[in-house]
Amino acid sequence: MKILGINGSPRGSRSQTLRLVQAVLDGAGSAGADVELVDVCKLDIEYCNGCTVCYERGECVKEDDFAELYQKMLESDGIVLGSPNYINSVTAQVKTMLDRMADAIHCQMFIGKYGCAVATAGGSGADEIVAYLNGVLQTLGANTVGGVGVVLGGDPEAIVPAEGRAYELGRRLVRAIENKETYPEQERLHAEMLERMRALVMANKDRWHHEYEHWKATGRISE
């Protein structure tokens, strides 16, 4: 079992978000998973330019670090996303990474995977960032097992108990993968997303050749 942690904070070793991502990985590792940490802010990932080539060919025209990171995601059973709150949203580096994944959403490439999210904030909004990141994972097809958000502006030491919760979150992630746990509300969301994406790909099958062929190969389109 492989768990990939993606830290979206640009603060390097000073990052409190990094501490939470690492704590999740430590918990997952203690439960027997192989873990890997990626600092997305150290990667060269360019902006999506909306060219739709990935829909047509299954590959991006950008020659940067995204393809390797995406392959790591595809090879992982579980994915941990982490970001601080930067003005009511994730960091620019995280958003740039996510914007490159429209093809993955159309093809629902994370079906069968599990994930979770962690976030920090100075004044407020950590839980909202957790909800956003978990929502992204669900939109990609993954089941999410929870998250940890912590506000540190008034109490910097709050990171310590948050690390404990993150550690347990990592162990929970491993259990969910091992037991192939299901969540009725998320299953309904996945079913709705599959139907939406199936209809979208069918409507564009003459242009989005890669996505249409992917859906046929998975047996979700019979024609």
What mean pLDDT is reported for the chain? 96
Place of tokens 């995601």: 73
- Fold of the CATH domain 2-182: Rossmann fold (3.40.50)
What are the tens digits of pLDDT across the range 38-54? 999 999 999 999 999 99
What are the tens digits of pLDDT across the range 193-215? 999 999 999 999 999 999 999 99
Residues in the chain: 223
Show me where the domains of the chain are located. Answer: 2-182
What are the tens digits of pLDDT across the range 59-93? 999 999 999 999 999 999 999 999 999 999 999 99
Structure tokens at 97: 């990474």
Q: Quote the CA–CA distance of 74 and 133 in Å, as a whole number.
A: 17
What are the tens digits of pLDDT across the range 115-154? 999 999 999 999 999 999 999 999 999 999 999 999 999 8
Supply the pLDDT for residue 219: 85
pTM of the predicted structure, to 2 decimals: 0.96
Residue 222 reports pLDDT greater than 80: no
Report residue 41 CA to chain centroid gap.
15
